[in-house]
Amino acid sequence: MIAFVQGPVAAVAAGTAVVEVGGVGMAVQCTPATLARLRLGESVRLATSLVVREDSLTLYGFADDDERATFEVLQAAPGVGPRLAQAMLGVHSPEALRVAVAGGDEKALIAVPGIGKAKAAKLLLEYKDKLGAPHGTVPAQKPVATGPAPWHEQLHAALVGLGYAPREADDAVTAVTPEAEAQGVPDIGVLLKAALRGLNRAR
């Protein structure tokens, strides 16, 4: 297992970062929040989880060991693969997920694209004894998907992390707002790709 990768950030794109390790570029799948913290050329250390499939090897990267451990518990549940597990971490922190599961909060899970009411109820039961008790480190906060500001902030931070100027990021967020509103529950990964396409056309 590849426990972590460490080295300079060689590239950042929608959903993926490339970290140079010993002269080799390691492609790592990350959440928008993690990507937003990366800077081209700066050294980074990402905890990782390698997902092996018959036709692929995919490396998922995380800000810390807690996020990676939570990802591995999430994606091991029936009907939950690594992409959905990563989407859950894209919306909620590990501690927020522990709080949601401990409190039986279906709405928190439904806020994740790809999870409906029935699936949320099943996952709450599945994760009840696996995610562990909350650590008490989540401050009072508004849910990520209850209004437009959270997705605006995530998308803006991701674009700035990719090297775009704040004003360019503002314009890109404005441009994809109709698409976000049409989605109902905005998918940050999809919106980031749309924003990047628009920015590339404008340059």
The answer to whether residues 74 and 121 belong to one domain is yes
Decide if pLDDT at 196 tops 70.
Answer: yes
What's the pLDDT score for residue 10?
Answer: 94
Residue 137 lies in a domain: no
Question: Mean of the per-residue pLDDT values for the chain?
Answer: 84
What's the pLDDT score for residue 137?
Answer: 53
Q: What is the pLDDT of residues 130-161, one digit of tens each?
A: 988 887 754 444 344 433 346 777 777 777 66
What's the pLDDT score for residue 30?
Answer: 92
Residue 33 lies in a domain: yes
Query: What CATH number should be reported for the domain holding residue 20?
Result: 2.40.50.140
Burial letters for 27-46: b for 16+ Cβ neighbours within 10 Å, e otherwise? Answer: ebbbbbbbbbebeeeeebeb
Query: What CATH number should be reported for the domain holding residue 94?
Result: 1.10.150.20
CA angle 190, 36, 154 (to 5 degrees): 55
List CB contacts of 97: < 8 A, sequence separation 6 or more: 70, 74, 88, 89, 108, 127, 131
The answer to whether residues 158 and 118 belong to one domain is no
What is the helix, strand, coil percentage profile of the chain, to 5? Answer: 50, 20, 30
The answer to whether residues 15 and 55 belong to one domain is yes
Q: How many Å apart are CA 74 and CA 182, to the nearest integer?
A: 28
- If one counts the domains in the chain, the total is 3
The answer to whether residues 58 and 69 belong to one domain is no
Of 62, 77, 102, the last residue of a domain is 62
The answer to whether residues 12 and 35 belong to one domain is yes
141/167: higher pLDDT: 167
Domain of 101? 65-127
Decide if pLDDT at 104 tops 70.
Answer: yes
Decide if pLDDT at 163 tops 80.
Answer: no
Residue 136 lies in a domain: no
Of 42, 62, 82, the last residue of a domain is 62
Distances (CA, A) of 119 to 47, 80, 101, 143: 28, 10, 13, 19
Determine which of 23-27, 112-116, 118-122 has the lowest per-residue pLDDT on average: 112-116
Decide if pLDDT at 100 tops 80.
Answer: yes
Of 62, 83, 101, the last residue of a domain is 62
Query: What CATH number should be reported for the domain holding residue 160?
Result: 1.10.8
Decide if pLDDT at 49 tops 50.
Answer: yes
Residue 25 lies in a domain: yes
Report helix, strand or coil for 4. strand
Q: What is the pLDDT of residues 9-35, one digit of tens each?
A: 999 887 889 999 999 999 999 988 888
Residue 134 lies in a domain: no
The answer to whether residues 123 and 84 belong to one domain is yes
The answer to whether residues 75 and 53 belong to one domain is no
The answer to whether residues 41 and 86 belong to one domain is no
Q: How many Å apart are CA 80 and CA 67, to the nearest integer?
A: 16
Cα first-last separation, the chain = 41
